[in-house]
Structure 1
Amino acid sequence: MFQNPDSLPAVRQNPLKLRPPRAGQDLVARSAFCQRTEESGANLVLVSAPAGYGKSTAMGQLHRHLADQGAVVGWLTLDPSDNDLGRFSQYVWLSLGATLPAFQGQNFEASAMEASSATASGRSFELLDALALHEGPLALFIDEFEHITSSEVLAFVMSLVSSLNAGQRLILGSRHKTMLPLGRLRVQGKLLELEVPDLRFSLDETRHYVRNRLKAELGESDVARLQESTDGWAAALQLTTSALIGKADPSAVLKGLNGPSRGITDYLAEDVLDRLPPALRTFVIQSSLFESFCPEMCDAVFDRQDSTGLLLQTDQDNLFLQIIDAEGHWYRYHPLFRDFLQSQIHRLPGAADDRQGWHLRAAQWLDGADKSLPAIEHALAAGAPELAARLMARRATDYVRTGQFGIVSKWLEALPDAVLQTQPTLLIAGAYTLAFLHRYQDATRLVGLISPEVKASEEFAQDLLVLQVMLGAWMDRLPEALRTAIAALPAPGRAAPYMVGLISNAAAYGEIAVGNYYAAHQHLVVAKHALEPIKAIHGLSYSQCFEGAIDLLQGNAIQACARFRATLSSIISGGYRFTSSTAVAAAHLIEAFYELNELDSAEMLIADYLSLIRDSCLPDHLIVTYRAASRIHFIRGRQREALETLDCLQDMGDLRGIPRLSAAARQGKLRLALRAGDLAAARRLLTLLSEPEIWRDWQGLFPYAEDLDDPFIAEVRIALVAGTAPGLTGRLEEAIQAAEMANRGRRAIRLRCLLAQALESARKRQHALEVLERALVQAQSKGLFRVVADDSWLLAPLLEALEVRSHVVPRTYITALLKAASETNVAYMPSTLSAEANRNPEGDLSQRELQILRLVAEGCSNKDLSRKLFVTENTIETHLRRIYAKLGTRNRTQAVARARERGLI
Structure 2
Amino acid sequence: MPSTSAPSGSLHASTRFRAPTYVRNVIERERLLDALGEGGGRALVVIHAPAGYGKTTLAVQWLRVLADGGAVPAWLGLHRDDNDPHWFLFHLLEAVRRAVPAAGDVLGDLRDLLEQNVEDTQTYALSVLLEQIGRHDGRLVLTFDDWHLIEDAQVHRALVHLLDFAPPNLSVVLTSRVRPRLPLSRLRVRGQLIEIDADTLRFDLAETRSFLVDLNGLRLEPEDIARVSVSTDGWVAALQLVSLSLRDCADPTDLIGGFSGRDHSIGEYLAENVLDALPGDILAFLLDTCVGDRLCGELADALSGRTDGQAMLEELERRDLFLRPLDPERQWFRYHHLFADYLRRRLERDQRDRVAGLHRRAAQWFAAHDLVSEAVSHALAAGDVAMATDLVERHAMAQVEHSRMVSLLGLIGRLPAAAVSERPRLLMALAWANCLLQRSTAAELALEDLRRVLPPAPEQQDMHSEADVVQACIDIYGDRIDRAEGLVALSLQRRDVYRPWVVAVAANIQSFCDIHSMRFETALARQRWAARIHQRTVGPFAAVYGRCFAGIAAFAQLDLPAAQGHLAGAVELARTSAGRRSHAAQLASALLGELLYELGEIDQAERLLEESRELGAESGVVDFMIASYAVLARIRANRGAAVDAAELLAEGVKVAERLALPRLHAAVASERIRQLLLARRIAEARRVAEAMPDGSSTEGGLGITIDQIRTGALAAVMSAEGDRDGAVALLDELIDDLQRRGQFRARLAAAVQRVVVLEQAAHRMAAERALADLLGQVVATGLRRTVLDGGPDIVTVLDRLLAQAGTRAWARAHPDVPRDWLAALVAQAGDDPETPSSGLTARELDILRMVGSGRTNQQIATSLTVTVNTVKWYLKNIYTKLGATNRTEATAIARREGLPV
TM-score using structure 2 length? 0.71
Picking from 254, 258, 271, the partner of 2:266 is 271
Write the mapping of 1:285-304 to structure 2, written as runs, cut at 5 A: 291-292=293-294
- Tell me which residue corresponds to 2:791: 792
Residues 72, 99 of structure 2: 8 Å contact kept: no
Deviation track 1:820-862 (CA, whole Å, cap 9, x = no partner) reads 68899x99999789999999998333463252599xxxxxxxx
1:114-129 to 2 correspondences below 5 Å = 116=116
The percentage of counterpart residues that share the same residue type is: 20
Cα distance in 2 for residues equivalent to 1:533 and 1:526: 13
Question: Contact between 2:432 and 2:470, CA under 8 Å: does it hold in 1?
Answer: yes
What is aligned with 2:734? 735
Q: 1:103-130, CA deviations, whole angstroms, 9 ceiling, x for partnerless residues?
A: 59x999999x998559997998999799
Task: Identify the match of residue 524 of structure 2 among 505, 521, 529.
Answer: 521
1:564-583 matches, within 5 Å, as: 564-565=567-568, 568-569=571-572, 577=580, 579=582, 582-583=585-586
Partner of 1:390: 390
- 2:698 alignment counterpart: 696
Contact 2:130–2:162 at 8 Å: present in 1 too? no
Aligned with 2:856 (options 838, 843, 859): 843
Deviations 1:131-187 (A, max 9, x none): 79997657474524674969799889989999x99968776767776899999xx9x
Give 2:825's match in structure 1, choosing from 806, 813, 838: 813
**In structure 2, what is the equivalent of residue 861 of structure 1?**
none
* 1:725 and 1:761 in contact (8 A); partners too: yes
Per the alignment, residue 870 of structure 2 pairs with none
CA shift, 1:513, in A, is 1.7
Structure 2 CA distance for aligned equivalents of residues 177 and 680 of structure 1 = 57
TM-aligned CA deviation for residue 690 of structure 1: 0.8
Describe how 1:552-567 pairs up with structure 2 within 5 A: 552-557=555-560, 560-565=563-568
- CA gap of 1:570–1:852, structure 2 versus 1, over 3 A, is closer
Alignment check: 8 A CA contact 1:73 1:99 kept:
no
Are 1:54 and 1:199, in contact at CA under 8 Å, matched by a contact in 2?
no
Q: 1:373 maps to what in 2?
A: 373
Distance in structure 1 (CA, Å) of the matches to 2:184 and 2:586: 28
Residue 495 (structure 1) shift: 5.1
Alignment match of 1:617 (pick from 615, 620, 631): 620
The alpha carbon displacement at 1:390 in A equals 1.5
SS in structure 1 opposite 2:857?
coil
Is 1:211 the counterpart of 2:209 in the alignment? yes
Gaps of 5+ in 2: 214-219, 247-251, 277-282, 807-816, 868-886
Comparing 629-638 and 282-291, the one that deviates more: 282-291
**Secondary structure, aligned partner of 1:76:** strand
| Mapping of residues 36-435 of structure 1, within 5 Å | 40=41, 47=46, 49=48, 56-65=56-65, 74-82=74-82, 83=84, 85=86, 88-89=89-90, 92-93=93-94, 96=97, 100=101, 116=116, 139=140, 141-144=142-145, 147=150, 193-197=192-196, 201=200, 206=204, 209-215=207-213, 267-277=262-272, 280=275, 291-292=293-294, 322-326=324-328, 332=334, 348=349, 363=363, 367=367, 371-381=371-381, 383-401=383-401, 403-415=403-415, 418-435=418-435
- TM-superposed CA distance for 1:20, in Å, is 0.9
Contact 1:243 1:268 in 2 (8 A): no
Q: Hey, what's the Cα distance between the residues in 2 that align with 1:76 and 1:482?
A: 49
| 1:604–1:317 Cα change, 3 Å | same
**C-alpha distance in 1 between matches for 2:900 and 2:168:** 21
Q: Would you say the 8 A contact 1:84–1:406 is kept in 2? A: no
Question: What is residue 771 of structure 1 aligned with on the other side?
Answer: 770
Q: Which ranges of structure 1 fall in alignment gaps of 5 or more residues?
A: 258-266, 855-886, 888-896
For 2:513 and 2:258, how far apart are their aligned partners in 1?
Answer: 83
Q: Distance between the aligned counterparts of 2:387 and 2:732, measured in 1?
A: 67
Task: Go from structure 1 to structure 2 and tell me whether the alpha carbon gap of 1:479 and 1:63 turns closer, same or farther (over 3 Å shift).
Answer: farther
Matching residue's letter, 2:373: L
- For 2:504 and 2:700, how far apart are their aligned partners in 1? 24
In the TM superposition, residue 595 of structure 1 has moved relative to its aligned partner by 1.5
d(CA) in 2 for partners of 1:125 and 1:598? 32
Q: Check 1:167–1:416 CA distance in 2 against 1; reply closer, same or farther (3 A cut).
A: closer
Distance 1:9 1:130 in 2: 27
2:19 partner amino acid: P
Aligned residues of 2:544 and 2:573 also touching (Cα < 8 A)? no
Looking at structure 1, the residues matched to 751 and 757 of structure 2 have their Cα atoms a distance apart, in angstroms, of 10
Once the 2 structures are TM-superposed, how far is the Cα of residue 813 of structure 1 from its aligned partner?
A: 0.9
Distance in structure 1 (CA, Å) of the matches to 2:722 and 2:357: 80
Q: Deviations over 1:334-384 (max 9, x none)?
A: 668888999x89995897x99878766765675567643234234445554
Query: Secondary structure in 2 aligned to 1:75?
Result: strand
Cα displacement (A) at 1:504: 3.9
Distance in 1 of aligned mates of 2:692 and 2:463: 40
CA gap of 1:845–1:88, structure 2 versus 1, over 3 A, is closer
SS in structure 2 at match of 1:478 = coil
The 5 A counterparts of 1:431-446 are: 431-446=431-446
1:392 is displaced (CA, Å) by: 1.6
The corresponding residue for 1:15 is 14
How far residue 280 of structure 1 moved from its aligned partner, in angstroms, is: 4.2
**Cα distance change of structure 1 residues 129 and 349 upon mapping to structure 2, 3 Å threshold:** closer
Superposed CA RMSD: 6.3
CA contact (8 A) 2:296 2:333 kept: yes
* Higher alpha-carbon deviation: 275-284 or 493-502: 275-284
Distance in 2 separating the partners of 1:114 and 1:527: 28
Contact 1:323 1:331 in 2 (8 A): yes
Provide the residue aligned with 1:589 in structure 2: 592
Correspondences of 1:625-774 after superposition (within 5 Å): 625-639=628-642, 641-643=644-646, 645-646=648-649, 649=652, 653=656, 658=661, 660-661=663-664, 664-665=667-668, 682-690=685-693, 695-699=697-701, 710-724=709-723, 726-774=725-773
How far did 1:526 drift?
Answer: 1.6
Matching residue's letter, 1:431: A
1:594 positional shift: 1.6
Aligned residues: 828
Indicate if the aligned counterparts of 1:110 and 1:119 stay in contact, CA closer than 8 A.
Answer: no
Q: CA deviation at 1:598?
A: 1.7
1:763 is displaced (CA, Å) by 4.1
- Does the Cα contact within 8 Å between 1:72 and 1:100 map onto a contact in 2? no
- Residue 390 of structure 1 aligns with an amino acid whose one-letter code is D
- Give the Å deviation of 1:795: 4.8
Deviations 1:734-770 (CA, angstroms, capped at 9, x unpaired): 1111112222222222222322333344444443444
Distance in 2 between residues matched to 1:33 and 1:565, nearest whole Å: 57
Q: Rate the CA distance shift 1:521–1:294 in 2: closer, same or farther, 3 A.
A: closer
CA, structure 1 residues 772+139, in 2 after alignment: closer, same or farther (shift >3 Å)? same
Larger displacement relative to structure 2 (458-467 or 477-486): 458-467
* 1:448-469 deviation per Cα after TM superposition (whole angstroms, max 9, x unaligned): 3331358844775775465344
| Cα distance in 2, alignment partners of residues 151 and 455 from structure 1 | 47
Mapped partners of 2:640, 2:754: distance in 1: 28
Q: Partner residue of 1:598?
A: 601
Counterpart code for 1:441: T
| Post-superposition offset of 1:272 | 2.3
Pair member with larger Rg: 2
